[in-house]
Amino acid sequence: MHNITEIGMEYDVLKENTKIAHDNLRLLSEHGIRSADLMGSIGSGKTSLIIKMAEKLSAKGIRVGAIAGDVTGDDDFKRMKDAGISVMNCNTGHECHLDANMVRKVLKRMDLGSIDVLFIENVGNLVCPADFPLGTDLRVVVISTTEGDDMVRKHPDIFLHSDIAVINKVDIAEYVDVDVDVVKRDYSKLTGGVLKMMECSVKKDKGVDELMDAMGLW
């Protein structure tokens, strides 16, 4: 499905992406950087979560960097920059996800010696990013109560390709008629009961510290 023909040769896009992802992870590890790829739909709260975590880390003297991934535009980049984060913008053009090569190009332009933790905000999508690891220590999928309580059943692959799953905006669950326990049960069933979905409300600063503990950020 992900093979293309280039100059008469078959080229496995996923295999090449994995190779570059390994190189990215090696580069970040050599600089002692803890990294996380945050995936999720548009409006799930990825940008707000990154800003909140950066605020908490900076207060402890931990230096934060970020890559803002979007198909086009720089809205999330500007929000992070205004929040004091050392951030680079990365537009994918027509692609619905970041890939390892895009990230590699951005990393070459970053001062990695000035970063302790790197957040990569992937393009808002619950399908495409699943197949393309970027070369981070962790892959985190963020959904919100505003998306309904069937997200896990509708998009199982991205949850299976993530180390941590977060349901955000739990403070308004009752107002959007979503049962958080249903979402958590679906996730537990999907992962064989091994993993538990984390609850979070960035606006109320609920569950953020626990998430950061789980991510090993401090």
Q: Domain with 96 in it: what CATH number? A: 3.40.50.300
Give the pLDDT confidence score for residue 8 in this predicted structure: 44
| 180 phi, psi to nearest 5 deg | -60, -35
Give the pLDDT confidence score for residue 5 in this predicted structure: 46
Give the pLDDT confidence score for residue 11 in this predicted structure: 61
**3-state class percentages of the chain: helix first, strand second, coil last, to nearest 5:** 40, 25, 35
Give the pLDDT confidence score for residue 131 in this predicted structure: 94
Give me the number of domains the chain comprises. 1
In order along its 218 residues, the chain shows pLDDT tens digits of 454 444 444 468 999 999 999 999 999 999 999 999 999 999 999 999 999 999 999 999 999 999 999 999 999 999 999 999 999 999 999 899 999 999 999 999 999 999 999 999 999 999 999 999 999 999 999 999 999 999 999 999 999 999 999 999 999 999 999 999 999 999 999 999 999 999 999 999 999 999 999 999 99
Q: In terms of residue numbers, what domain contains 77?
A: 3-214
Q: Are 91 and 73 in contact (CB under 8 A)?
A: yes
Count of CB atoms within 10 A of residue 75's CB?
12
